[in-house]
Amino acid sequence: MAVSDAHTRDMRPWALLSPALTAITLLLAIPTCFVIVYSFWLRTAAGDEQVGFYLDNWIEVLSDPFYRDILLYTLKIGLITTVCCALMGYPAAYFIAFSKMRNKAFLLLLLMLPFWISYIIRTMSWINILGVSGAVNYVLQSLGIVAEPIQMLYNEATVILGLIHFLLPFMVLNIYVSLEGIDPNLNAAARSLGSTPFQAFREVTLPLSLPGLAAGSLLCFVLGSGTYITPIVLGGPGDGMFANLIYDAIITQLNWPLGSALSIVLLIVLGSVVLLYNRYLSLGQISKGFG
């Protein structure tokens, strides 16, 4: 009887996990296997696939500096975006976490508001803000600060701006949850032992909130490096990222095998970042970011 109960208890986590595992297997693992198989096929002149085991796509992707350079550019954009999000997100999260406001929930609601609007629409909104006929130029011209409208859109800076707009809430939420979990007595103890407010922050609050910062950074980096919408909407001719190459290969060139190889490369690179994070900081921190 006791053995049976133990067996039931052992199986319970699997039973609870089975819907998620089934979904992941059917919707992620198996399709990824298909993509891997596809990457070894070839595109024919007619746009169809030649089934077989060919290394041509992999040799091209791994040996051609074009793909390497775009990948490095993508990682650079992802990194800059992440650093900007961290610098902007930390003060915001700190303010929300330690605010004496009665309706702190209202601040959190404001933070969540952008998620109610489509990411594409949020990205396109910058055209009306920064465009030649946009709000910023209108104000500058109305105040006589500039005579001619300034060209602000369609460059690397606006791509980063669009990504920050998209990713900042993820960063703030993660840091906020981390800060919320810090025992306020620790800060008070540091102050009572003679620390200045800044020393207390540097020695107590900041180290304890680092897991949240790291979790937010991971999410921002992975999501930012995998995007292709923002460069299309806000980028200039040369501002494409690695995901845009995948889009070009699969949609424009109808070269699904090459697009599959590129997809796997991006998956491996971003997956490696996640694994590195897990090795040193543990993925469990991310779940805290969502409360």
Partner 1 sequence: MDDQKRYQRLLERYQNGDLDRRTFLSLLGAATVTAGVVGAPVAGLRRQALAAKPDSVRFDGWGGVVSEAFREYAFEPYEKETGIEVVDGTFGGADEYLARVRSAQPGEFNVAHLSGVFDYVRYHNLGFSTKLDESNIPNLDLTIKALQEPFREVSDGRLSAAPYDYGTTGLAYNRDVISDDEIREKGPNILIDAAYKGKIGGWGEWKTRIWYGALQTGQDPNGIADMDAVWEALRTHRDLALKYWQSGAELMSLLANGEIHVTEGWSGRIAALQEQGHNIGYYDPPGGLGWQECLFVLKGSPMEACEQLLNFMLEPEVAIAVAEGQNYPPALDPNKVELTEKIKNLPAYDPTGKLDGLNFFKPAYWNSHEGDWSKKFGRIQRGY
**How many angstroms separate the CA atoms of 257 and 10, rounded?**
43
- If the CB atoms of residues 25 and 253 are measured against partner 1, the closer one turns out to be 253
- If the CB atoms of residues 66 and 290 are measured against partner 1, the closer one turns out to be 66
Task: Give the x/- contact pattern for partner 1 in 58-87, rule: CB under 8 A.
Answer: --------x---x-----------------
- If the CB atoms of residues 134 and 211 are measured against partner 1, the closer one turns out to be 134
**How many angstroms separate the CA atoms of 228 and 244, rounded?**
5
CB 195 within 8 Å of CB 268:
no
**How many angstroms separate the CA atoms of 7 and 118, rounded?**
46
DSSP 86-98: HHHHHHHHHHHHH
- If the CB atoms of residues 75 and 85 are measured against partner 1, the closer one turns out to be 75
* Location of structure tokens 């508001």: 113
Stretches 23-31, 91-99, 129-137, 181-189: which one binds partner 1 (CB under 8 A)? Answer: 129-137
Q: Is residue 161 at the binding interface for partner 1, with CB under 8 A as the rule?
A: no
The least distance separating partner 1 from the CB of residue 151, rounded to whole angstroms, comes to: 6
Among 79, 232, 269, 273, binds partner 1 (CB under 8 A): 232
- If the CB atoms of residues 220 and 245 are measured against partner 1, the closer one turns out to be 245
Residue 259: how many CB atoms within 10 A of its CB?
24
Among 138, 154, 195, 281, binds partner 1 (CB under 8 A): 154
Q: Is residue 31 at the binding interface for partner 1, with CB under 8 A as the rule?
A: no
The least distance separating partner 1 from the CB of residue 143, rounded to whole angstroms, comes to: 20
Q: Is residue 255 at the binding interface for partner 1, with CB under 8 A as the rule?
A: yes
For residue 186, give the H/E element and its range. Answer: helix 184-192
Q: What angle do CA 218, 124, 266 make, to 5 degrees?
A: 35
- If the CB atoms of residues 249 and 265 are measured against partner 1, the closer one turns out to be 249
- If the CB atoms of residues 112 and 251 are measured against partner 1, the closer one turns out to be 251
The least distance separating partner 1 from the CB of residue 153, rounded to whole angstroms, comes to: 7
Q: Which of 135, 118, 117 is nearest to 126 (CA)?
A: 135
- Binding positions for partner 1, 91-120, rule CB under 8 A: none
Q: How far apart are the first and last CA of the chain?
A: 38
Q: Is residue 47 at the binding interface for partner 1, with CB under 8 A as the rule?
A: yes
Q: Dihedral, CA atoms, 187, 191, 192, 194, nearest 10 degrees?
A: 140
Q: Dihedral, CA atoms, 52, 55, 57, 58, nearest 10 degrees?
A: 140
Q: What's the number of CA atoms in the CB half-sphere (13 Å) around residue 42?
A: 10
CB 240 within 8 Å of CB 231:
yes
Task: Give the x/- contact pattern for partner 1 in 233-252, rule: CB under 8 A.
Answer: ---xxx-x---xx--xxxxx
- Residues lying near partner 1 in the complex (CB under 8 A) are found at 43, 45-48, 66, 70, 127, 131-134, 149, 151, 153-154, 232, 236-238, 240, 244-245, 248-255
